[in-house]
Amino acid sequence: MLSAMIKGFVFAVVALLGACRGQSEDPVKYSPVGLVPASPQRVGDPEKGYRALVNEPYIRCGLPYAAYRQVADPVPPEHLLNGRTGRNAELPYHLTSYTTVAGVDLVVNNCLSCHAAEFNGRLIVGLGNESLDFTMDPSLRAEAAGAYVEDDAEAREWRRWADRLNVLRPYTVTDTVGVNPAISITLALLAHRDPRTLTWSAAPLIEPPPAIPPPTSVPPWWRMKKKHALFYNTEGRGDHARIMMLGVLLCAEDVATVKAIDTYAPDIRAYLASIGPPPWPYEVDRGLARRGAAVFERTCAACHGTYGEQQSYPNLVVDLATIGTDPVMARFAIDGQADRFIRWIGASFYGEIAISSPAPGYIAPPLDGVWATAPYLHNGSVPTLEALLDSRKRPVFWTRSFRSDDYDPDTLGWRFHALPHGKAGTQDLKERTRIYDTTLPGYSKEGHTFGDALSDEERRAVLEFIKTL
């Protein structure tokens, strides 16, 4: 029960908008399309980073432990992680133990809520969770959990957590299972914080983001070792560790708390950059894959890079007209709608070494382990790689089971059911939330039609080659 409640509202640390250095009156600068230059990163220790990732309470509000014990589901053995200490060793991977200064024991979220997922029954740390359900109001579940809170000290901590979720509710609820509202959550946090002191305000200090979260597909962490900008529209430049910390603003009440977390953030980034993709778990036709490698080199490598012993990745932003994918996310940042948030960060502790420089397009990601990251495009609108390479096969309305073993090794993606109608075609609420409707703003399946020029045999060969990445 609690596991479902916590999963209903999680705090993505990546896929967040970055910063623009300077004072609030400075004009906001945008980047051109093309190559994204590298930025220097602080040195970190990957081993220390893993320990911090799974043990440190960087989100510092949540449910009192005594209440958690009363409502928690049994933890499957595969949801327990190695290297966890103390009470963390008994908690599922996406929850962390935290004792407040006042001595109240809490159970809080961590990054793995969004950045770990099962594939064929195996939990993979760093794989974006594309099955999370954000369609339910998290504040209602938090309020219900309050029935299990007893003493006054615990009640104060629970109330702080529940009140935050209530304020953020309009920016957390999506209408489709599997898409992630991370961008809206982060911008709403900025709207309720003073940039210089980080003091929380129940009333927004600047205009919040639109109340309809744009859909986001959670990228895998193993891309971090290659990317010069963290996010789809190339925001998140400069110091990546600092940018990743934006999610702690849910509960970090002052600059001192954020600075303390910042001491181990470079270690966490170093761990993320050390992660590799999982190996393809099925058989590969090696001859077909070799033929696919030649087609890939000719048609895909210029944007997505080369693989094998001599790897390269260009960090290339493709303009909106050329890529043709849904422009909502990119346009929000470059049309002046997000300027107030960029200026907020520029005036804050984050903006000291992190910068934002969105471009009018989307970056072509590295494709290591891309076969495991379905659905595809930045909004998760295409269920398989086969459909990504042949736009005729992309369903307008579709649904899937959300089981981790429902993967199709032939199409490289989730088995799906094409539907004759979108959300408006059903009155059943549960069914509606499981329908991906590509006619909605932000959800378009259009664009990235480069594979359409290939023959069926060439596409089949490219898919076989991708299995080897």
Q: How confident is the model at residue 4 (pLDDT cuts 50, 70, 90)?
A: very low
Angle (nearest 5°) at CA 434 between 432 and 439: 70
What digits encode the pLDDT tens for the residues 79-96? Answer: 999 999 999 999 999 999
Report the percentage of the chain scoring pLDDT > 70.
94
Please say if the pLDDT value at position 391 is more than 50.
Answer: yes
Q: Where are the domains of the chain?
A: 2-274, 286-317+360-466
Structure pTM? 0.92
Averaged pLDDT, 70-78? 93
Distance CA 62, CA 109 (A): 7
Lowest mean pLDDT among 40-54, 415-429, 454-468: 415-429
Q: How confident is the model at residue 19 (pLDDT cuts 50, 70, 90)?
A: very low
What digits encode the pLDDT tens for the residues 155-186? Answer: 999 999 999 999 999 999 999 999 999 999 99
Q: What is the CA radius of gyration of the chain?
A: 22
The pLDDT score that the predictor gives to residue 22 is 35
Q: How confident is the model at residue 302 (pLDDT cuts 50, 70, 90)?
A: very high
* Strand order across the beta sheet in which 436-437 lies: 416-418, 397-400, 436-437
Q: How confident is the model at residue 309 (pLDDT cuts 50, 70, 90)?
A: confident
Please spell the DSSP secondary structure of 398-420, one letter per residue.
Answer: EEE---TT-EETTTTEE-EEE-S
The pLDDT score that the predictor gives to residue 25 is 56
What digits encode the pLDDT tens for the residues 337-354? Answer: 889 998 998 899 999 999
Higher pLDDT, 64 or 355: 64
Q: How confident is the model at residue 357 (pLDDT cuts 50, 70, 90)?
A: confident
C-alpha atoms less than 13 angstroms from C-alpha of 295 in its C-beta half-sphere: 22
**451 phi/psi in degrees, rounded to 5:** -70, -15
The pLDDT score that the predictor gives to residue 28 is 78
The pLDDT score that the predictor gives to residue 11 is 32
Please say if the pLDDT value at position 409 is more than 60.
Answer: yes
Please say if the pLDDT value at position 246 is more than 70.
Answer: yes
Report the percentage of the chain scoring pLDDT > 90.
85
Averaged pLDDT, 267-291? 97
What HEC string does 27-38 produce?
CCCCCCCEECCC
| SS3 call for 394 | coil
